[in-house]
A and B are shown apart, each in its own frame.
Chain A
Amino acid sequence: MRVTEKQRFVLSQLRIGKQRVRQIKLTEQLSSGIRVNRPSDDSIAAKKVSVLQTEYSRIEQYQKNVEAAHRLLTVADHTVGESSNTLFRLKEIAIRGLNSSMTPSDRNNLAEEIATLRDHMMTLANTRTENRYIFGGYAMSTPPYDNAFNFVGDTNTTSIAVGDSSLVKATIPGGSAFGDGTAATVDVFDNINQLETAVRLGIEVDMQNELERLEESIEQGIEARRFIGLQLSRVEASKTILAYKDTELRAGMAQLKDVDFTSAVSQLKVVENALQATIATSSRLMKGTSLLDYL
């Protein structure tokens, strides 16, 4: 085979060019820290990254949802807790009202105290957080209890997704803590109002009755807190699972996408060596002696 000058030069050019392309690719990876800069860099990895990315963004949203559910449930828990305390205070008052040494003016004072506590209960039942009423079911933009102490909300609960096909209830069923106006629940405000009247009038039988209903009201509050506690523990569990998934997904994406620096650097070293060798041999090829030097 004859070797012409053109072959010598063109081949050197091509060889150096090829090494340079590999060098640039590796430098791009090293400087960006990312191995898959475009789908063609590794199409399978690009697909997997895209799938994981979706899951990851969903997990992030679930984490936000979990936080929101956590906030709502915590507020509800505190509020119902405070309402239980108030009911206990009312129970003490009712027991004091039953005392036979009470004068009418004493009972009047007690009745006033009951009225004040009722108003406090009213504030609790119409608790508003993050721009919504939390005890009125889906009727979240209007107070669930009107001025006549009637429940005007509905008995729904707001469900929030905290995972794929995993919902938690971020609110308790409307009216379940303070009464929804049906026989299924104790109407706490009716209870307090009746108690107030009974104490004011000093009717012992009615006071006894309302005291018993107070026990039911307290029981109802405890039931509501149990419901909240259950949801909160599910929220906590979801939080742990999501945090775990979050870490897993991040690691998974990093593994697919990120550069393995050790191997990339050593590859770059290999390419650089090859490039150097190519340049060295090419320059010899190009300088190569020719008959011209002797004739």
Chain B
Amino acid sequence: MLGLKNTLRNAASGMNTSQAGLATVGHNLANADTDGYSRQQVHIGNRGPLRIISGSQQISQAGQGATVQNIQRAHSTFLERQLLRDRMERGFFQEQSQGLKLFERLFDDQASNTIGPAVDEFFNAARDLSQEPHRFGNRQMFMLSADNIARSFNEFAQQAHSVREDADRTVQANVERINELAEIITATNARIGTIEAVGITANDFRDQRDIAIKEIAELADVRVLIHRDGGAQIDLANGFSLVQGSNRAVLSTIPDPANAGLLAIEHTSLSGVTTEITNSIQTGEIGGLLNLRDTVIPTHMGEMDQLAFTFVAEVNAIHQAGVGLDGLGGRDLFDPIGAVAGASLSISVNQAIEADPGLIAAAIDPAALPGDNRNLLALADLQTAPHAVLTNVTFNHFYSEIIRSVGAGVNRSEQLSEFHQTRFEQSDSLRESIEGVSIDDEMVDLSRFQKHFEASARVMDTVNRLMDELMQLVR
């Protein structure tokens, strides 16, 4: 027998489901602007039917109303995966291009202490001195210009190193941030595990975890695997496990003596094994910073060292062949440098000559002092001579080529940074289109659930009145 009571229950279930719908609309609207929020949808299903037997043995079923089956977040696993990749690439080029721009400033023509003009000035001072090699004042000017070259190289090396150190400090901060994020992920993993064990989807915790994962992806290469039980497994750079369920590995930084004391990154696994993973991190902000710190800047530094080394060797060779005002030769103008590596940091002028510019070997013939300027003429000719170790070009050409390649590097890095930013925006826009909250949609749902609620309320009202009628009969 199908009773009014059943109808009342059905009406009540309708009101319940529409309330759940309204609550979700409210939740969505409240989070319309929340980062990483995925819009949630209420799935309403009907409650299993009631088997009833009417008068003549015939069995039929009566509906029992509706129920909220689940509340799910709109989520595209494919897009999210794509976005992680985009984040890593974007992070890499963003950091690399920012660091390179700092490095590029060391080649700014407007700054007076750049090496190109200093070298030009040195050779011009030699030519100036060649007019009047007997003049003490000119000799002093020449020494000043030699000293200026040494200082420019030194300053360049120091500033380039400080760009590397800046990158280093950011790497350290980022590594610490990864540890924090891994902590957050293990915590949310645990909560998602307990919630989902009873068959409920932990939408909001999953969103929170996704935010943390996205942030890690900005920083380094990650691979994410969501297990059936809802737990996320995060692998870092070539399969170093970072998070597994509610356990996590630890990243740490340690000064690397083989790399000028800059930091190496170490990974201590769940089982306590420590491995250095510095070179395995190839994307993300850390990847970009490491690339800048360990590849891009050292490459250019190497070129500058080669320039400084060759310059000192060639200038000294000529200087040794000449004689000073005391008639003696065989002196170096710059202190000899032993190795190419670090040459620009260690270049310095010979203190003895700086103290007594008379020792500058302007002359070739000790019998033709002080007017013999032939050694200075030979020295000045170095400026236009190609040097085999410098790819057969002049000092300045070599330096200009470094400028070009730095400029091109910045340019390329900037363009790629912009490209990946745009790509990220496109993917994010697609994600937003699936997962984001549209106020229009929510307004439609709001009206829909409101009408739904009103209709169920009307049914209840009707049943109520029928009940009243029945009661009237009894009275």
B374 to chain A: which residues have CB within 8 Å? 159
Instruction: Report the bound CA distance from A154 to B381 in whole Å.
Output: 25
A65 in complex: contacting residue of B109, B131, B437, CB < 8 Å: B131
The answer to whether A47 touches B401, judged by C-beta atoms less than 8 angstroms apart, is: yes
Within 8 A of B (CB), among A154-199: 154, 156, 158-161, 164-165, 167, 170
Q: In the complex, which residues of chain B have a beta carbon less than 8 angstroms from the beta carbon of A69?
A: 131
Q: Cα distance A137–B370 when bound, in Å?
A: 10
B58-66, B213-221, B240-248, B403-411 - interface stretch:
B403-411
How close is A138's CB to chain B, nearest CB, in angstroms? 3
Give the residues in chain B near A159, CB-CB below 8 Å.
Answer: 373-374, 377
* Cβ–Cβ contact A132 & B408, under 8 A: no
Q: Which of B132, B367, B400, B401 contacts A130 (CB 8 A)?
A: B132
Contact indicator A43/B408 (Cβ below 8 Å): yes
Collect the chain B residues with CB atoms within 8 Å of residue A1's CB.
433
> Is B368's beta carbon under 8 Å from chain A?
yes
Interface pair A292/B120, CB less than 8 Å apart: no
List B contacts of A60 (CB < 8 A).
124
Q: Are A137 and B368 in contact (CB under 8 A)?
A: yes
Per the bound structure, the CA–CA distance linking A40 and B418 in Å amounts to 15
CB pair A137–B371 under 8 Å, yes or no, is: yes
CA distance A38 to B403 in the complex (A): 9
The reply to whether A38 and B104 form a contact with Cβ atoms under 8 Å apart is yes
By beta carbon, the residue of chain A nearest B384 is: A164
Q: CA of A136 to CA of B130 in the docked complex: distance in angstroms?
A: 16
Instruction: Report the nearest A residue to B406, measured CB to CB.
Output: A39
Among B33, B101, B407, B409, contact of A46 (Cβ-Cβ < 8 Å): B407
A205 contact set on B, CB distance < 8 A? none
- Which residues A41-91 have CB closer than 8 A to chain B? 41-44, 46-51, 53-54, 57-58, 60-62, 64-65, 68-69
CA distance A184 to B316 in the complex (A): 39
Could you say which of A4-12, A109-117, A273-281 contacts chain B? A4-12
Most chain B beta carbons < 10 A, residue from A4, A44, A51, A154: A4
Once the chains bind, are B131 and A51 in contact (CB under 8 Å)? Answer: no
Contact A46 B438 (CB under 8 A): no
Check: A148 CB closer than 8 A to any chain B CB.
no
Contact B439 A132 (CB under 8 A): no
Contact A46 B404 (CB under 8 A): yes
- Asked if A40 contacts B411 (CB within 8 A), the reply is yes
Most chain B CB atoms below 10 A, which of A57, A131, A159, A292: A57
Cβ–Cβ contact B370 & A61, under 8 A:
no
Does A139 lie at the interface of the complex (its beta carbon under 8 Å from any beta carbon of B)?
Answer: yes
Does B469 make an interface contact (CB < 8 A)?
no
Among the listed stretches B187-195, B333-341, B442-450, which one makes contact with chain A, having 4 or more residues with CB under 8 Å of it?
B442-450
B409 to chain A, nearest CB (A): 8
B219 to chain A, nearest CB (A): 22
Does B383 belong to the interface (CB within 8 Å)?
A: yes
B437 close to A4 (CB less than 8 A): yes
B116 contacts across to A, CB distance below 8 A: 50, 53-54
How far is B394's CA from A54's CA once the two chains are assembled, in angstroms? Answer: 11
Contact A51 B397 (CB under 8 A): yes
A1-B433, A43-B407 known; A65+B368 contact, CB < 8 A: no
| Alpha-carbon gap, A60 to B125, bound state (A) | 12
Which one of B121, B370, B377 lies within 8 Å of A138 (CB-CB)? Answer: B370
Neighbouring B residues of A48 by C-beta, 8 Å = 400
Q: Does A141 contact B (CB under 8 A)?
A: yes
Whole-angstrom distance between the Cβ of B251 and the nearest chain A Cβ: 32
| A4 proximity list for chain B (CB < 8 A) | 32, 432-433, 436-439
The binding surface of chain B is classed by DSSP as helix
Question: Which of A11, A54, A295 is B446 in contact with, Cβ under 8 Å?
Answer: A295
User: Do the beta carbons of B443 and A6 come within 8 Å of each other?
Assistant: no
**B397–A138 touching, CB < 8 Å:** no
Contacts of B370 in A (CB 8 A): 138-141
Q: Which residues of A1-33 have CB atoms within 8 Å of chain B's CB atoms?
A: 1-7, 10-11, 14
How far, in Å, is A264 (CB) from chain B's closest CB?
19
A61 to B132, CA, bound (A): 14
Known: A4-B437, A6-B432, A138-B371. A292 touches B135 (CB 8 A): no
B441 touches A2 (CB 8 A): yes
- Which chain A residues lie closer than 8 Å to B441 at the CB level? 2
Over the window 356-397 of chain B, the binary record of Cβ atoms lying under 8 Å from chain A Cβ atoms (1 yes, 0 no) is 000000010101111111100100110110000000000011
- The answer to whether B101 and A40 have CB atoms under 8 Å apart is yes
- Kindly state the separation between the CA atoms of A60 and B128 in the bound complex, as whole angstroms: 11
Q: Is the CB of A132 within 8 A of B396?
A: no
Nearest Cβ on chain A to B9's Cβ, whole angstroms: 31
User: Nearest chain A CB to B200's CB is how many angstroms away?
Assistant: 26
Report the minimum CB–CB distance from A85 to chain B (whole Å).
28
Whether A141 lies near B433 (C-beta < 8 A) is no
Q: Chain A: which residue is nearest B114 at the CB level? A: A50
A100 CB within 8 Å of chain B = no
Q: Is the CB of A68 within 8 A of B408?
A: no
Measured CB to CB, the closest approach of chain A to B274, in angstroms, equals 40
Q: Does B153 contact A (CB under 8 A)?
A: no
B451 to chain A, nearest CB (A): 12
Contact A7 B131 (CB under 8 A): no
| A139-B371 in contact (CB<8A) | yes
**Chain B proximity of A44: nearest CB distance (Å):** 6
Sample of 28 A–B contacts (CB below 8 Å): A2-B436, A2-B438, A4-B439, A5-B32, A7-B436, A39-B107, A40-B101, A40-B104, A41-B407, A43-B405, A43-B410, A43-B411, A48-B400, A53-B117, A54-B120, A54-B383, A57-B120, A58-B384, A64-B128, A65-B127, A139-B368, A139-B370, A154-B367, A160-B127, A161-B380, A164-B384, A290-B443, A291-B444
**Top 6 closest pairs, chain A to chain B, by CB:** A39-B407, A43-B407, A138-B371, A40-B410, A47-B404, A4-B436
Interface residues of B (CB under 8 A from A): 32-33, 101, 104-105, 107-109, 116-117, 119-121, 123-124, 127-128, 130-132, 134-135, 363, 365, 367-374, 377, 380-381, 383-384, 396-397, 399-401, 403-411, 414, 425, 429, 432-434, 436-441, 443-444, 446-447
